[in-house]
Structure 1
Amino acid sequence: MGTLNCTSAPESTPSDSGVAGQGILLSFMITAGLAIILSASVILADFKGRNSITRRKLLNGYSDSQIMQGIGIQSVGLAKMNSLVPYHFFLIWMLSLLSMATHNTTLLALVRDYRRDWVLRWMRQFLMFVNLALSSVSGVFVLQTVSKGLDKSTLPVACVWKVDGERAPSNAGLSYVGTIAAMAGNVIIFVLATWYLHSRKQRFYKIVQVVGWILMTAVAIGAAVRVALLSQAFGHPSVKLSDEGEKDWSFGQLLSMLLLALPVISVIEIYRGEIKVAPPVGDDRQRPYDGELQSDPHVLTPFQPNPFFGSETDLFKKRGDRN
């Protein structure tokens, strides 16, 4: 992690293309844009009673890529907090919000696909929790830099616990409230997403999809705009950087862009019949039988229960309790 130096702030700080390079930022923003558009398309198709296996597979691929990138870049940021300045750390936090919003739009569109397989459902839950935990820890550091007026400092972000900082600017109160609101919103959205993912009887299904998609799209657009305006790659950084390395393209930057093609390759394989994918599950409300679901593994059911606890109709109801 390096030796922490909080005694004197240098005039400038080196760029870091590994967390704020053009390829990294473009990869996040393009993936988010494609996933949001695809999720809207899938939701609209569901309203019309149409299903597209290739479209759902493509959306799932971009969502998986985005949430893993979000977890990865936050892990790197926390591991390098003895060298990263608040400018880079804030960009990482914004990318985590973008990643979370992208994944939630996908969850709104593909919730029935996840609900039919308990392994996929709980793996999704675990990734959501890890992303939230890392984002919350990063948010605490961002909140501390804002409260101490160190958001434009060239000291490492870990120094927020060791120095008093400068006098906070006049708009620090708004930034402080906004940071707290973003952190609280992440927790609330996580709780709602958990309910949406595991609830057997979903009420106001279409309303939740539409309202949730609009909210998550607004969060994603806000995070992407903030990243574009603040980064050296596309805008004006809040600190003086000693070089313009974040505008240069390297193998790592190019690799991030090339990874965008992987979900497309999978879709082409599906379209050509090389890979067989189960069709999407229909609406639960269209099923005439509302008792315990069939346990036959060959029957494709809308909700597959967790075999370790809960029942086939209720997450919190034990399997042997029929009352």
Structure 2
Amino acid sequence: MARNCTVIPNSVPSDAGIAGAGVLLASAITTGLSLGLSASLVLQDVLKRSSSRNPSVIRRQLLNGYSDQQIMVGIGLQSVGLVKADSLVPYHFFLIWMLALLSMATHNATLLALVQDFKRDWVLRWMRQLLMFVNLALSCVYGVYVLQSKIKGLPATLPIGCVWGLDSTSSNVGGLDYVGTIATIAGNCVVFGLATWYLQSRRQRFYRIVQIVGLVLMSAIAIGATVRAYLLSQAFGRPDVKLSDEGEKQWSFGQLLSLLMLILPVISVVEVMRGAIAVAPPVPDDDKQSLLNGELSDIPRFRGSD
């Protein structure tokens, strides 16, 4: 649909596929579960309670599933949002950006807890690196769109794509919004650089400190993005644009499907517990240097233990 940047509508339709109650709840629940699992694994590792009798395979498998699901949802939402930039208003565009921040926080928290598992296989390691880069690139593009809409004072009911053909107008947006948007873009780049170093580095200097500080930072980002999205959404808060209907408050099949997707990682866990899938246990601390040197190719496989 071609965008119309000349007529400013009084209101815009809702979009439950982006800002529906089920979509927001599913993202928040997935992020919360992932952060909790990551924290439990890091705490167990710090307290030296990981052993061959308690290799935490189940939690690691569950965390890996939720992380994969969340980052793919984030990349998918951002990709669709860019394709629909000629019809999406800044309200929905910004909510997609917040959900992308949640997916980034989830994936980075998982990276902190499971980095040795990813380093075990170079294919998995570089696949993670690619997903991280794609998510960062899309997030930066979204940040530029959001920043341009604030600089030019884009009316809330015009499509976000109009920022490139609209002359600057008077805007009531405060300087804090500009600073916050720029800081978010810069922060994403810094976090990506640190995550890349953490994933690819062969030297494990300050390993525990990086894990703990990183988890605190990812938790803060996740909480901030969740609160901002919920306060702005029609389903749980007050949007900054007039919507012509209340479709984002209604529970449809799509909203329920978003929550049902949370069950998928649990199915893999059940298969591990039943012995249908064999997975490798976590790498002990004294074997991490061997792992970095590529010497742990014959690691025993566990079929079901927490």
| TM-score, normalised by the number of residues in structure 2 | 0.92
The one-letter amino acid paired with 1:269 is E
For residue 142 of structure 1, the aligned residue among 135, 146, 149 is 146
Contact 1:70 1:131 in 2 (8 A): yes
Residue 273 (structure 1) shift? 1.9
Equivalent residue, structure 2, for 1:18: 17
For residue 116 of structure 1, the aligned residue among 93, 97, 120 is 120
Distance 1:299 1:259, change over 3 A: closer
Residue 165 (structure 1) shift? 4.8
Contact 1:146 1:172 in 2 (8 A): no
Distance 1:288 1:183, change over 3 A: closer
Contact 2:20 2:235 in 1 (8 A): yes
For residue 167 of structure 1, the aligned residue among 167, 170, 173 is 170
Alpha-carbon distance in structure 1 between the residues aligned to 2:293 and 2:37: 31
Q: SS at the partner of 1:107?
A: helix
Equivalent residue, structure 1, for 2:225: 223
Distance 1:7 1:220, change over 3 A: same
Alpha-carbon distance in structure 2 between the residues aligned to 1:257 and 1:291: 37
Alpha-carbon distance in structure 1 between the residues aligned to 2:180 and 2:102: 16
Instruction: Give unpaired runs (5+ residues) of structure 2.
Output: 301-306
Equivalent residue, structure 2, for 1:275: 277
Contact 1:147 1:172 in 2 (8 A): no
C-alpha distance after superposition, 1:26-50 (max 9, x if no partner): 1111100100011000101111231
Alpha-carbon distance in structure 2 between the residues aligned to 1:290 and 1:76: 42
Distance 1:108 1:294, change over 3 A: closer
Distance 1:246 1:46, change over 3 A: same
Equivalent residue, structure 2, for 1:199: 201
The higher relative CO (CA closer than 8 Å, separation ≥ 6) is in 2
Equivalent residue, structure 1, for 2:134: 130
Equivalent residue, structure 2, for 1:46: 45
C-alpha distance after superposition, 1:225-280 (max 9, x if no partner): 00000000110000000000111122211111101011111112212222111111
Residue 13 (structure 1) shift? 0.2
For residue 246 of structure 1, the aligned residue among 242, 245, 248 is 248
Q: SS at the partner of 1:273?
A: coil
Alpha-carbon distance in structure 2 between the residues aligned to 1:129 and 1:189: 11
Alpha-carbon distance in structure 2 between the residues aligned to 1:64 and 1:147: 35
Alpha-carbon distance in structure 2 between the residues aligned to 1:95 and 1:293: 37
Residue 298 (structure 1) shift? 3.0
Which portions of structure 1, spanning 4 or more consecutive aligned residues, are displaced by more than 4 angstroms?
A: 287-292, 294-297
Contact 1:148 1:166 in 2 (8 A): yes
Give the RMSD, CA atoms, in angstroms.
1.8
C-alpha distance after superposition, 1:144-165 (max 9, x if no partner): 0111222x51000000111125
What is the aligned length? 295
Alpha-carbon distance in structure 1 between the residues aligned to 2:90 and 2:266: 36
Distance 1:293 1:268, change over 3 A: same
Equivalent residue, structure 2, for 1:309: none
The one-letter amino acid paired with 1:204 is F
* More helix per residue: 2
The one-letter amino acid paired with 2:70 is Q
Contact 2:119 2:292 in 1 (8 A): no
Equivalent residue, structure 1, for 2:213: 211
Instruction: Give the percent of matched residue pairs that are identical in Structure 1 and Structure 2.
Output: 64
Alpha-carbon distance in structure 2 between the residues aligned to 1:282 and 1:120: 19
Contact 1:38 1:59 in 2 (8 A): yes
Contact 1:93 1:138 in 2 (8 A): yes
Instruction: Give unpaired runs (5+ residues) of structure 1.
Output: 301-323
Alpha-carbon distance in structure 1 between the residues aligned to 2:233 and 2:197: 36
Alpha-carbon distance in structure 2 between the residues aligned to 1:172 and 1:276: 55
Alpha-carbon distance in structure 1 between the residues aligned to 2:270 and 2:291: 39
Distance 1:282 1:237, change over 3 A: same
Alpha-carbon distance in structure 2 between the residues aligned to 1:262 and 1:116: 24
Alpha-carbon distance in structure 2 between the residues aligned to 1:22 and 1:296: 45
Moved more, 46-55 or 253-262: 46-55
The one-letter amino acid paired with 2:71 is I
